[in-house]
Amino acid sequence: MRSAFFRALAGLAEHDERICLIVGDLGFGVVETFAQRFPDRFLNAGIAEQNMTGIAAGMALSGKIVFTYSIANFPILRCLEQVRNDVCYHNANVKIVAVGGGLAYGALGMTHHATEDLAILRALPRMVVVAPGDPAEAEAATRAVAAHAGPCYLRLGRAGEAEVHHGEIHFQLGKAIQVRDGNDLTLISTGGLLEMAVQAAESLRHAGLQARVLSMHTVKPLDSGAILAAARETGAVFTLEEHSVVGGLGGAVAELLAEASEGPIIFKKFGLPCAFSSVAGTQEYLRALHGLSAESLAIAIRIRMGKNRIMTVTTAD
């Protein structure tokens, strides 16, 4: 996703002189091209994210479209007061980009785990919260947040995410993308778990369950229409996120369903526990540890749906 973001950002900057990038002293293997092509619109603020955000807000209020970029929690939680007071309160045209959402930097420990960010950012007034599911969505999301007038949070994976979409996609902020159809249940995924959702859906198909898969790339504003339609048409909704089960996608969907009074449905959130991880390891290892592998998800969903026969899990090539 990181490469897709910078590819899209450079394309935008070629045609719009308002596009600027400020980084927090990292990522030079991927930011160098932008810095070399647009030196007057690039700034390394150093390891000073509060300053980075304040500078971005000031530039935005002078007419620029400013992207700030750092890893995991650093461009949001370290400078949350500046995000809230300088960016959101003034409705500044700042796009905060965090690379390594969820457990992507798992080997570096809990300080680098971005597992509460969706909940915190979606609580801020005027903030649009976006977590694309694959590189195609990341590239489209970059263009979409640049076009949106106001604060945005763009949560990216680190690198190497699989292409889930193999054709042109219609990307619109606040509108989910249906990846596959099904009538028995719905899997709603945000961020890098989209591939897992598709794999789990394929495994459930072997058990006789046809799963609809929605990529909810925008957590705020939420696509309430797609969610309520899924609840009515499939009767079972499962949310998947590499984030705490408190306050993220699952919480947003639960709030919507509880207030909508659509009738009884099966509902469950899959995500990370509301706890600091004492384990370090690869993203794949930590996902599996918390039941976020395709196999674990498919088994848990099958049990919840009352299908107890043995399944064979199919993984993507």
Residue 73 has a pLDDT of 93
Residue 315 has a pLDDT of 36
Residue 53 has a pLDDT of 98
Residue 158 has a pLDDT of 83
Helix or strand or coil: residue 281?
A: coil
As assigned by CATH, the class of the 2-156 domain is: alpha beta
Residue 310 has a pLDDT of 40
Burial label, 176 (beta-carbon count in 10 A; 0-12, 13-18, 19+): buried
Strand boundaries in the chain, DSSP class E: 19-23, 42-44, 65-71, 94-99, 128-130, 152-156, 177-180, 185-189, 211-215, 218-220, 236-244, 266-272
Helix or strand or coil: residue 32?
A: helix
Selection from 289, 288, 290 nearest residue 269 by Cα: 290
Residue 18 has a pLDDT of 97
- Interatomic CA distance for residues 32 and 35, integer angstroms: 5
- Phi and psi of 70, rounded to 5°? -160, -175
Q: What count of other Cβ atoms lies within 10 Å of the Cβ of residue 172?
A: 13
| Residue linked to tokens 């977590």 | 131
Q: Output the pTM of the full model.
A: 0.93
Domains 2-156 and 177-304 share a fold: yes
Burial letters for 242-271: b for 16+ Cβ neighbours within 10 Å, e otherwise? bbbbebbbbbbbbebbeeeebeeebbbbbb
- Interatomic CA distance for residues 241 and 197, integer angstroms: 10
Residue 314 has a pLDDT of 37
Residue 1 has a pLDDT of 85
Q: Which residues of the chain have pLDDT under 50?
A: 308-317
Selection from 157, 96, 171, 102 nearest residue 127 by Cα: 96
As assigned by CATH, the class of the 177-304 domain is: alpha beta
Strand partners, 67: 21, 95
Domain ranges of the chain: 2-156, 177-304
Is there a cis peptide before residue 75, judged by omega within 30 degrees of 0?
no
